[in-house]
């Protein structure tokens, strides 16, 4: 069985990638901070899902992830975690940018 690693699989495009890859028979390794959403995703698909709760903005956690996955054979990597705000820099919420 092929394996897909998806960062930011708790919502949006990442979650949809996860669902579509599961439909194509991929085993999923999914990453995000909101573990309850990853659990919901696991319930929603019919393939094995490995959940890795992780904050990828923290360097230490990224190195821990590397160690955890070093023996994994990853066939597809969707490096999707991130955030964006629509609008001009001046007008968008500074608190969201600093969060």
Binding residues vs ligand NAP (CB under 6 A):
7-14, 31-34, 37, 54-57, 80-84
What is the spatial distance between Cα 54 and Cα 20, in angstroms, rounded to a whole number? 22
Paired with 50 in beta bridges are 29
**What is the three-class DSSP state of 46?**
coil
Min dist. Cβ of residue 44 to ligand NAP (A): 15
Q: Which helix (H) or strand (E) holds 13?
A: helix 12-23
Q: Name the residue whose CB lies closest to ligand NAP.
A: 12
Looking at the Cβ atoms of 31 and 47, the one nearer to ligand NAP is 31
Looking at the Cβ atoms of 25 and 82, the one nearer to ligand NAP is 82
What is the spatial distance between Cα 10 and Cα 27, in angstroms, rounded to a whole number? 16
Looking at the Cβ atoms of 1 and 36, the one nearer to ligand NAP is 36
């Amino acid at each position: 069985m092929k394996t897909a690693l998806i960062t930011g699989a708790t919502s949006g495009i990442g979650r949809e990638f996860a669902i579509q890859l599961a439909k194509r028979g991929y085993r999923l390794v999914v990453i995000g901070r909101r573990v309850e959403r990853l659990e919901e995703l696991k319930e929603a698909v019919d393939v094995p899902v490995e959940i890795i709760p992780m904050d990828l903005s923290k360097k230490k956690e990224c190195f821990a992830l590397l160690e955890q996955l070093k023996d994994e054979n990853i066939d597809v990597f969707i490096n999707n975690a991130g955030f964006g705000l629509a609008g001009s820099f001046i007008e968008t919420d500074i608190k969201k940018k600093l969060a």
